[in-house]
Amino acid sequence: MSVEEINKYLTRRKSRRFKDHDYSHPGAYFFTICTENKECIFGEVIGGITYLNQFGEIAKEEWLKSADIRREIDFDEWIIMPNHLHGIIFINDFYFWDRQLSGKDNSVLIGKSKLIRLPKSLSTFVSGFKAAVSRRINDLRSTPGATVWQNNYNDHVIRDKEDLETKRNYIIENPMRWWEDRLNPVNF
């Protein structure tokens, strides 16, 4: 893809990110990532309980591994559903101040479009997690390079304790509401 094609794509693509928010800044973030075409590849929900299959277990293992290798984040509530994952992460102060004090600007500029994928940011974490899960699932399926996840993700900057509790409850109750969930394929 040429630089011109990348610029055209980026200008046309509407960002889902909170305008002017630094997603590497310390804070709490709720996000949802969905599988490609919302295909139920991670398991099933029976009686309000999520049962993960082999691919779901891979997603779970990579999620837990992420907490060990990415010291800049802490996990809060999270759930893997048949075709999506909800999670809350906290980005820690130490790594933000370390980056600020170093004076490094790690953003990438292409034409007039600024790609924001700062080290130790939400987008870097999500991208790395999705890549690790995709690689392992594609190895099992013998489908190298096949798409596992949708291209983007939805996020919400958590603003206060009430907002945090609301998101936690949403995650905890998600399997019990699966039959009315808009991400359940029977509701498309």
Is 129 within a domain? yes
Per the CB < 8 A criterion, the answer to whether 63 and 78 are in contact is yes
Is 9 within a domain? no
Is 182 within a domain? no
pTM confidence score: 0.77
Is 181 within a domain? no
CA dihedral over 176, 83, 117, 129, signed as positive or negative: positive
Is 183 within a domain? no
Is 8 within a domain? no
* H/E run at residue 56: helix 54-69
15-73 pLDDT, tens digit per residue, is: 444 455 556 678 899 999 999 999 999 999 999 999 999 999 999 999 999 988 888 88
What domain range includes position 98?
Answer: 14-175
Task: Fill in the DSSP letter of residue 149.
Answer: B
Is 101 within a domain? yes
Is 184 within a domain? no
CATH number for 76: 3.30.70.1290
90-129 pLDDT, tens digit per residue, is: 987 644 444 444 444 444 433 434 444 455 688 889 999 9
Q: How many domains does the chain have?
A: 1
Number of helical (H) and strand (E) elements in the chain, helices listed first: 5, 8
Q: How many CA atoms lie within 13 A of 49 on its CB side?
A: 2
**Token pair listed for 126:** 């999500």
